[in-house]
Amino acid sequence: MDYYSNHIKTLIDELGRLPGVGAKSAARLAFHIINMPKESVDRLSDSIKAAKANVHYCKKCCTLTDDEYCPICKSAGRDQSTIMVVENPRDLAAYEKTGEYKGLYHVLHGAISPALGIGPSDIRLKELMQRLGTEPVSEVIVATNSSLEGETTAMYISKLIKPTGIKVSRIASGVPVGGDLEYIDEITLLRALEGRVEL
């Protein structure tokens, strides 16, 4: 037996499709949205539509932006000789919160996972190699997650870059195995960055 009318059920179902949102959270969010003033709902809905219509990949680092280049790539104060490779924009944000890393980034939007059918051509590795051929880079810091997929991706990147003569390093331990960078505190991330080792 259905407890809710069609519109409420549809809203709960759609919210429940979002990552990390279970059935109870979806219902809580749905009722919160229904009880919001119409202007607030309009702003929320307009911001979702605007983000979907205007956000795309940065032409340089492949993070998400609503401009041709993201604010980090546009910044003249960043160290152009260092690129940190991360799996997703949330990992980039986690390192930016430390306030210590001053180089550039490259966002892969995933990691190599043969079990899931994700190969090197399914993530932004080609774009990384193109950057390394045109930009004055002296070091690539591989900051993929400490998971099987992250380690596989790190090794693959190392094998791709080593022949170019560019130094390749990996963030140090301190990041727990199986942990996602976006959930790790800034001190642990900073220690991992400072203790990186050459691959």
Q: Are residues 38 and 96 part of one domain? A: no
Q: Are residues 49 and 82 part of one domain? A: no
Question: Long-range contacts: 86-91, Cβ < 8 Å, 24+?
Answer: 86/143, 86/144, 86/181, 87/111, 87/144, 87/145, 87/150, 87/153, 87/181, 88/182, 89/63, 89/64, 90/181, 90/182, 91/143, 91/145, 91/180, 91/181, 91/182
- pLDDT above 90 for 43: yes
Domain range for residue 95?
64-198
Question: Is 1 among the domain residues?
Answer: no
Q: What is the largest CA-CA distance in the chain?
A: 65
Question: Is 87 among the domain residues?
Answer: yes
Confidence class for position 177, pLDDT limits 50, 70, 90: low
Question: Is 156 among the domain residues?
Answer: yes
- Helix, strand or coil, per DSSP, at residue 118: strand
- Helix, strand or coil, per DSSP, at residue 142: strand
Q: Are residues 50 and 84 part of one domain? A: no
pLDDT at 166: 94
Question: Is 82 among the domain residues?
Answer: yes
Q: Are residues 118 and 73 part of one domain? A: yes
Question: Is 41 among the domain residues?
Answer: yes
Interior angle at CA 129, CA 183 and CA 196, nearest 5 = 45
Question: Is 44 among the domain residues?
Answer: yes
**Strand 197-198 relative to strand 56-57, pairing:** unpaired
CATH number of residue 22's parent domain: 1.10.8.420
CATH number of residue 183's parent domain: 3.40.1360.10
Angstrom distance (rounded) from CA 86 to CA 143:
5
Q: Are residues 70 and 50 part of one domain? A: no
pLDDT at 186: 76
Q: Are residues 130 and 178 part of one domain? A: yes
Q: Are residues 102 and 50 part of one domain? A: no
The structural domain count of the chain equals 2
Q: Are residues 28 and 68 part of one domain? A: no
Confidence class for position 181, pLDDT limits 50, 70, 90: confident
Q: Are residues 193 and 134 part of one domain? A: yes
Distance in angstroms between the alpha carbons of the first and the last residue of the chain: 58
* Cβ atoms of residues 194 and 172 within 8 Å: yes
pLDDT at 3: 74
Q: Are residues 123 and 70 part of one domain? A: yes
Confidence class for position 74, pLDDT limits 50, 70, 90: very high
Q: pTM of this prediction?
A: 0.79
Angstrom distance (rounded) from CA 120 to CA 157:
9
- What is the token pair recorded at 91? 């990992």
Q: Are residues 39 and 15 part of one domain? A: yes
What is the separation of C-alpha 82 from the centre of its chain, rounded to a whole number of angstroms?
18
Q: Are residues 37 and 101 part of one domain? A: no
What is the separation of C-alpha 8 from the centre of its chain, rounded to a whole number of angstroms?
32
Question: Is 59 among the domain residues?
Answer: no
